[in-house]
Amino acid sequence: MRLVPRSLGGRLALLLVLAVVGAQAVAFAMFAHESSRVGRAAARTQVVDRIATLVRLLDAVQPDTVPSVVAAYGSPRHRFTIDAESLVPEGAMGPDEARLARRIDRRMKDDASQSRIALVERDVGEDSSQGRLSDRTQALRVSVRLDDGRWLNAEAPLASRTPPWMRIALIQVLASVVAVLLVVAIARRGIVGPVADLARAAERAGRGATFEPLPERGPIELRTMTAAFNLMQERSGAFVADRTRMLAAISHDLRTPIASLWLRAEMVEDAELRAAMVRTISDMGRMVDATLAFARDDALAQNGGPLDLAEMVRALVEDHVVLGRDVTVLSPADLPFHGRPVALRRALDNLVGNAVRYSDRARITLERGGDGIRVLIDDDGPGIPPDRIEEMFAPFARLEGSRNADTGGTGLGLAIARSAIRAHGGDVTLVNRADGGLRAEVTLPA
């Protein structure tokens, strides 16, 4: 399971939620610490004030009413008793406790040292080490000597119950997370959405698809980037269109003198010389046609659409079988695909033609996978030296050095095939088979 989302919106939401929760956690920790410290100080002050008030009250009432007054003055959190012994041992007070004891003494009698205070671990059996009152969170025990020699003992917990603001804090965290997600939803519409549209458009442009200019929306930086992308696409389309028109004119101009040379060659009386000249002119024509076809790149000019790749390959095989070639195909009944049929058929035809040219037979296999489509074209030819396989995809690259069509053509077939297949988001590779021959493997995105 991926903990980090792959999309920009998901990562933005995750980072903002983590930032908000982290900041809230630090703020709540600081607030809890400060609240606890203030709460302990308030609890100590409350105990001291209640003790001083109770002592003054006991001095003003009749002796027989003292037990009832002490019982009425108590509460679930504050317990008061009158005993013969002090609840706090003598000498148990630290500096902070002694300061609080003097505070009680000042509120009763001038400089009368008759109060004792100690901080204890109420729920722990063993004694706790001495420390500052502000660092303790357990119980405060107070003993005050009365005029009759008895001791007024009091005990009150300093640890407060779970404060109500903890529940409020959790609600605040949830509200902050919801607010962040709402902000991310707005950002996704105004920022992430245009970025995703731009990414999809760039992918389509890389495959040669044509589309309308993207709307410029979002922040100024994103608008500038979208405008630059639209301008790049416009200039690229204009460049391709100008190049296509130029090459069409060149094609027309070249074919005319080649045809003229052909006619003049037919008038040569020497049969052997005439045959050689016609063969050379024919090779020139094929080279010009192949060069113009590669440079024009018809795959970029044709709009894509739905097609049945299996049906296309079967039709291609039938065309080769009609010409007496040994070509077979193994494929599913249908194989839906979205692409440019003319460009794909031309690329596959070049690969099948190479297989037939070098081994007199070709076996085609179509496979559907989870992540794409594979087209395997196997032959029984001599193969290609491993160090020259990549070189064969370069324009005009041939194993045989001449340009004779009978010994391998012009060397543009593989270059045209790779250009068309990559324009569909796929690729083509060549590999020597272990049992002899060569395999051309075409991969296309599903």
Sequence-ordered list of residues with C-beta below 8 angstroms from that of 172, at least 6 positions apart, any chain? 24
Longest distance between any two alpha carbons in the chain, whole Å: 155
Structure tokens at 31: 């607030």
Two tokens, residue 172: 């605040």
> Could you tell me the CA-to-CA distances from 127 to 92, 121, 124 in Å, in that order?
11, 7, 8
Q: Residue 430: its pLDDT value, please?
A: 92
Distance, C-alpha 165 to centroid of its chain: 37
| DSSP structure class, residue 190 | I
CB atoms within 10 A of CB 422: 16
Tokens of 389: 């396989």
The type of residue at 180 is V
Report pLDDT for 315.
Answer: 93
- What is the chain's pLDDT, residue by residue, as a tens digit (446 residues)? 456 666 766 777 777 788 888 887 787 777 776 666 766 666 677 777 777 777 777 777 777 787 888 788 777 777 888 888 888 777 777 776 777 777 676 666 554 557 777 767 655 443 434 333 334 456 778 888 777 778 888 887 765 555 566 677 778 778 888 888 887 777 777 777 788 888 888 877 766 666 788 888 877 888 888 899 889 888 887 876 777 677 667 766 777 788 888 888 888 888 888 888 888 888 777 777 766 665 555 544 556 788 899 999 999 999 999 988 999 999 898 899 988 888 888 889 999 998 998 888 899 999 987 778 999 999 988 888 888 888 888 776 766 644 444 555 566 788 888 888 888 888 899 999 888 889 999 999 87
The CA-atom distances, in angstroms, between 178 and each of 12, 173, 419 are: 14, 9, 49
For tokens 């410290």, name the residue.
37
CB 331 within 8 A of CB 366: yes
